[in-house]
Structure 1
Amino acid sequence: MPTADYLPRHSLSHLFDLLQQHGYRLVGPQVIDGAILYRPLTAVDQLPSGTEQVQQPGQYRLIQTDSSRRFSWANGPQALKPLTFTPRETLWRSQLHEDGSLSFHETPEPATPTAVIGVRGCDLAALALQDQHFADDPYYRQQRDALLLIAVDCSHPADTCFCASTGDGPDAKAGHDLALTELDDGFLIRAGSERGKNLMTALPLTAASHASHQQAETQYRRASQQQRQLPTFDPAQLIHLGGHPAWDAVADACLSCGNCTSVCPSCFCFSESEVPELDGTASSHQRQWDSCFSEGHSYIHGHRFRPDTKGRYRQWLTHKFGSWVEQYGRSGCTGCGRCISWCPVGIDPLQVLAQLGDEPPTSN
């Protein structure tokens, strides 16, 4: 791991104070309604303490320990996506004037400088994919450019995690301003940007001991030993497996609820709609999250190209693990495992991929 300095646990509040002095709104993990969610915070005490989790297919549960650690969990249902790709936003408004003419104007909302604390490596990798997809989107860019990202290496991956096999974790590899490795009594801290380096100069840091580095290395090796791994398959061949029996099996179980796409940190499907005012004088053109599992997502001029669950699941999986490689140079999956934990029927896409790789298709 990169060379890092040491920040005592009791000095984490200095980082919070420093960020607020620089004008950042703080956002970090908190326990809300039995899940880890990113919410605004002002003090270290608002972070979870001794919170761990149990995640299995279709299961997510938090457990409390007597540990003083603040980041001893893998993830919750929410990643960075809502902070950049807003779940619902107005792109422009139209106004009807007395002479019958219409005017149109964009309605970008100013972005507040925001420091996000506790970002995981898998979510940084997903953010990089979103950056590629929304590169020319001014609404996304203004929110994205306002973020300062403080990552925390994952020390307690869930049973549903497989970021080690996608190459995106458990440590934060790129895209962060600062990265922390939480130890029993403090943090190793390293910079990933010039902004991060400038912040480190104002913190009460000391040289990290050999024992601290050893603990971090042991922790990293343990976190990398994950029970799930991305199976071997040919991404270019997924699109040609339309007749494979695996699609029928997964369609029998899938509810087309869209949970997997909602919690996925890289999914970017959206729909747009007009929302008129009641008096008929104005209207808002809004963008909101959508899912390729929704009935209307493939509707074009009187025809649904994917009318059933089988077609929708096939579209999601072949796009995520296949055509994204051609589009963005890598799979759209970063190994966070959320789609497994938050699927109400416990579908594991890794098992579907394994079946597609092991069994020959029946027809095209």
Structure 2
Amino acid sequence: MTDASDSGTDLGHPAEAILDRDGLDALVGVLRRRGRTVIGPTLRDGAIVLDELDSADALPFGWGVELEAGQYRVRRREDGAAFAHSAGPQSWKSFLHPERVRQWTADRDPGGGVTAREETRRKVSYAFLGVRPCDLRAIRILDRVMSGGQYPDPVYLSRRTGAFLIAVECTEPGATCFCVSMGSGPAVDAGYDLALTEVVDDAGHRFWCRSGSEEGAAVLAELPRRGADDPTRTAAAEAVSAAADRMGRSMPPVDLRTLMRDSLEAERWDDVTARCLSCGNCTMVCPTCFCTTTEDVTDLTGDHAERWRRWDSCYDLDFSLLHGGPVRASARSRYRQWLTHKLGTWHDQFDSSGCVGCGRCIVWCPTGIDLTEEAHALHQEATRREGAP
């Protein structure tokens, strides 16, 4: 299938090409032979989840999703597309910033002394297949948070360094997607090794593939492929452009940072927190929430102890616990903290918004709270307040 007309990079490797389903399967094989653990979407237990892939056959060909606030359902598709589904319950954060990490162990010696051992980190070389544009942005945000400061996180660095990213442009947004509002999709711009755009039309099922790094170009050179053609490029661009016009949600067209800053005493907080369960689901599924806590555990004998780091949530009453009690004791203050940080004060810390518009927090909220609806309501309340005599 290789065509000599493939365009090349300085290395003589193709910068773009067209892959078919065999090419996609070859991609997984090449990455595994290079020692990569390939992670991608697959159908399991009634959801499209991220898991290790042995071959491209495990991808969810012919499956899509139906999303709404507090609702998620997979559905059959007629076109056999592999990536025509929206963000699932997991994000790549689960692999780069795991939910639980053991930090050290300690054992009491027979003589009464204690020996402590720092946890040995297993070397892993990931390849992420099917990274959505919103999730690609989320990884870049996590890079800034977890490795961009004075004290980079060693666990994150050990998993993120050298990870091979295969982005997939979005052609099928969900009803809860709003990446256009956050400037994070549906097209990809940078930060990938390979980028795919899936095209299914009368000319067949194929993937327009572009390299974004030297390693990406080298991998592409090993795959069965044919030269990129204008009809496929055009069909891919049109599909992505159409997706931008079909977003299920949007943010108000205002400076969200200013809106959050000026809405701290808004009445709307009472309305939303009357529905909020403070369960923390939104923080668990969010691809950029990063907070953790530590817990120490011992066995029944008291001779063995371990320290674990685990995800924490600002909805937890103990999250802001100080001597005398929690700083944010009410559900109102905890929801307000989450939303104003995500959309507002995140800029002060990390020079960007903490939201990428994936919509996971909307889908996986048990009561269907929609942060885009809340942002619109805060904007409307601010407009009324400004117009009041």
Scaled by the length of structure 1, the TM-score of the pair is: 0.95
Residues 60, 82 of structure 2: 8 Å contact kept: yes
Give the corresponding residue for 1:302. Answer: 324
Q: Aligned partners of 1:241, 1:230: CA distance in 2, in Å? A: 16
Corresponding residue for residue 120 of structure 1: 132
Match of 2:319, SS state, is coil
Native 8 Å contact 2:174 2:248 kept in 1: no
* CA distance in structure 2 between the partners assigned to 1:281 and 1:267 by the alignment: 35
8 Å CA contact retained: 2:22, 2:224: no
Kindly state the Cα deviation for residue 115 of structure 1 after the two structures are TM-superposed: 1.3
Residue identity in the other structure for 2:355:
C
> Do the aligned partners of 1:236 and 1:323 also contact (CA within 8 Å) in 2?
no
In structure 1, the partner of 2:296 is 274
| Matched residue, 1:252 | 274
Following the alignment from structure 2 to structure 1, what is the Cα–Cα distance between the partners of residues 298 and 338? Answer: 32
Moved over 4 A (4+): none
Map of 1:320 onto structure 2? 342
Show the counterpart of 2:380.
358
Counterpart residue number, 1:203: 223
1:179–1:190 CA contact under 8 A, matched in 2:
yes
User: In structure 2, the residue corresponding to 1:313 is in which secondary structure?
Assistant: helix
Q: How is 1:38-117 mapped onto 2 (pairs within 5 angstroms)? A: 38-117=50-129
Q: Which moved more, 1:334-343 or 1:138-147?
A: 138-147
Q: Could you tell me which residue of structure 2 aligns to residue 159 of structure 1?
A: 175
Q: Give, in whole Å, the separation in 1 of the partners of 2:349 and 2:135.
A: 19
Identical positions, percent = 38
C-alpha distance after superposition, 1:275-329 (max 9, x if no partner): 1122212211101111111121111223111112111100000110011111111
CA drift at 1:66 = 2.5
**SS of the residue 2:270 aligns to:** helix
Deviates more, 1:27-36 or 1:201-210: 201-210
Q: Distance in 2 between matches of 1:273 and 1:258?
A: 18
Q: 330-339 vs 219-228, which deviates more?
A: 219-228
**Is 2:263 the partner of 1:241?**
yes
Distance 1:98 1:146 in 2: 43
Which amino acid in 2 is paired with 1:70? A
Q: How does 1:164-175 map to 2 (within 5 A)?
A: 164-175=180-191
Tell me the distance in 2 between the aligned counterparts of 1:188 and 1:176: 14
2: CA distance, partners of 1:266 / 1:195: 26
Helix, strand or coil for the counterpart of 1:60?
Answer: strand
Pair 1:224-2:222 in alignment: no
Q: TM-score, normalization: structure 2?
A: 0.89
Distance 1:31 1:164, change over 3 A: same
- Runs of 5+ unmatched residues, structure 2: 1-14
Q: How far is 1:67 from its partner?
A: 1.6
Provide the secondary structure at the position in 1 that maps to 2:310.
strand
Which residue of the partner structure matches residue 32 of structure 1? 44
Contact 1:111/1:142 (<8 A) preserved = yes
For residues 94-130 of structure 1, the C-alpha deviation after alignment (integer angstroms, 9 at most, x for no partner) is: 2323443334331032132121211111111111111
What is the number of equivalent residue pairs in this alignment? Answer: 360
Per-residue Cα deviation, 1:234-284 (whole angstroms, up to 9, x for no partner): 414524533210100001111111111111000011111101122212211
Question: SS in structure 2 opposite 1:253?
Answer: coil
Paired amino acid for 1:268? F
The secondary structure found in structure 2 opposite 1:42 is coil
Asked if 1:193 corresponds to 2:205, the answer is no
Q: Does 1:138 align with 2:158?
A: no
Match of 1:183, SS state, is: strand
3-state SS, counterpart of residue 275 of structure 1:
strand
Q: Distance in 2 between matches of 1:263 and 1:329?
A: 22
Q: 1:344, CA displacement in angstroms?
A: 1.2
| TM-aligned CA deviation for residue 19 of structure 1 | 0.9
Query: Which runs of no fewer than 5 residues in structure 1 stay unpaired?
Result: none
8 A Cα contact 1:88 1:287, kept in partner: yes
Pairwise CA RMSD of aligned residues?
1.6
Matching residue of 2:17: 5
What secondary structure does 1:324 align onto?
A: helix
SS at match of 1:297: helix
